[in-house]
Amino acid sequence: MPSISEFFGITIYMYYAHGQHKAPYFHARYQGSDSSFEIATGKVLAGNLPPKVTKLIQDWATRHKQELLDNWARVLKNEIPKLIQGADND
């Protein structure tokens, strides 16, 4: 799973798992727990991270929406996604 960003102990990564979710999405891992987020809305698709961590990730995703969508297009073409600046550097 390619990591595309890391900030405040959170790792964001992206890969395509056929049939897992219909909309473009990314994964986040924090302290051994994972969640999946829809890129367009920031909605949690699966998982259960702490509310403050979820909000931080959703705010970051809103600021980097186009970069996430560009990476999604890369992943669908079996290309390596690009790194995205973390929330600690925004």
Domain extent, residue 20, equals 3-89
Contacts of 39 (CB under 8 A, 6+ apart): 23, 24, 25, 26, 61, 65, 68, 69, 72
| pLDDT, tens digit, 9 for 90 and up, residues 27-37 | 999 999 999 99
* pLDDT reported for residue 78: 87
pLDDT at residue 19, as a whole number:
55
Specify the number of domains making up the chain. 1
The tokens 């920031």 sit on which residue? 42
Low-confidence ranges of the chain (pLDDT < 50): none
Which pTM value belongs to this model?
0.90
Looking at residue 34, its pLDDT comes to 95
Instruction: Classify 87 as helix, strand or coil.
Output: helix
- Give me the pLDDT at residue 90, please: 77
pLDDT digit string (tens) for 68-80?
999 999 988 889 9
